Homo-oligomer: A and B are copies of this chain.
């Protein structure tokens, strides 16, 4: 698994900037990235749209769709990643949405996560299922988001 240092180094090497949208992880991936001194050269910032109302406010996703999906879908992850790139004027935008648990919510099992990475030209999204308690799911989702960012940029598939 790539470390936050690896991601920051790769972004610096490629001279590209990133911004993040974190729903279920609520800032943990951004915290990890910015543990690296000098990360402000490539990490611009992000939004934590923890409630459906805030997802609607910043990303204009219709509330009925948010209520139906609980904000947990591949298309919503893609919209968030694409829009944060525009809002923060970064080269890459990435997002994570999901349900960390405990239990299940409207048929969505705990540990169901979608991660997305977008550039101006391309977009990638991935569904992942993570086992474990709420905190384990959120930490693992954050690490997997950063790994997905690394892989997407490295392969120039983004």
Chain A residues in contact with chain B, CB under 8 A? 19-20, 22, 25-31, 33-35, 37, 39-40, 43-51, 53-54, 57, 87-89, 101-102, 134-135, 138
Bound CA span A40–B52, Å: 10
Main secondary structure of the interface of A (DSSP, over half): mixed
Chain B residues, CB < 8 A from A47: 45-48
Q: Within the complex, what minimum Cβ distance (angstroms) separates A135 from chain B? A: 6
Contact A37 B102 (CB under 8 A): yes
Contact B31 A26 (CB under 8 A): yes
Task: Give the one of A27, A87, A135 with max B CB within 10 A.
Answer: A27
Chain B residues, CB < 8 A from A101: 37
Chain B residues, CB < 8 A from A29: 27
Q: Within the complex, what minimum Cβ distance (angstroms) separates A100 from chain B? A: 9
Contact A40 B31 (CB under 8 A): no
Contacts A47-B48, A57-B88, A89-B53 known; A31 to B28 CB distance under 8 Å? Answer: yes
Q: Within the complex, what minimum Cβ distance (angstroms) separates A11 from chain B? A: 13
Contact A31 B35 (CB under 8 A): no
Contact A50 B43 (CB under 8 A): yes
Instruction: Show 7 residue pairs from A and B whose CB-CB distance is below 8 angstroms, ordered by the A residue.
Output: A25-B31, A26-B33, A26-B34, A26-B45, A34-B138, A37-B134, A48-B48
